[in-house]
Amino acid sequence: MSAAKCNECYSSLNLATCLHCSIPLCDNAGHLNEHIQANPSHRQYYSHKISRLVKCCKSTCKVTDIKDLLTCHYCFDKAFDKFYDMYTATWKGTGLSIISGSICCEDHFAWHRMNCMNANVEESAYIISKSSQKHKRVQLSDFIF
């Protein structure tokens, strides 16, 4: 999957692959969000940035539906500040590990909230906003994809 390019614009940045149809899509131009909105039954995505299925960080948890996952933006920002190299525009492995560890289902995000006082409580913590407008080109997460 390392030579993947967006099916819409051929970009190789910020990629996710839909596991339902095996189509790589970029997040930075909004193609990923458009695909999710147009294909609501496609619920599992592989992130090329974190090199794994986008799923709840709890290893025993089976939640992989991208619409049911939340993120802690505070932990993302902390990882960025400590583990992203602005000169080379690359992540250190620990930063990517923190990012994948900050993606949770609702049940495990409740646990994360108890341990991280800065975790978002509003619906803005969802990867896919519950109030997002359909067919609008929106970048979902520069941290995950």
Q: Which residue has the tokens 């949770």?
A: 104
Helix, coil or strand: residue 97: helix
Q: What is the pLDDT of residues 77-95, one digit of tens each?
A: 999 999 999 999 889 989 9
* Domain limits, the chain: 1-49, 55-131
Closest CA to 26 of 41, 5, 46: 5
For residue 3, the model assigns a pLDDT of: 83
**In this predicted model, what pLDDT tens digit does every residue of 112-140 receive, in sequence order?**
888 887 765 555 788 987 766 565 678 88
C-beta separation of 15 from 27 below 8 A: yes
**Could you report the per-residue pLDDT of 44-71, keeping only the tens digit for each?**
999 999 999 999 999 999 999 999 999 9
Phi, psi of 85 (to 5 degrees): -95, 110
Average pLDDT over residues 2-25: 93
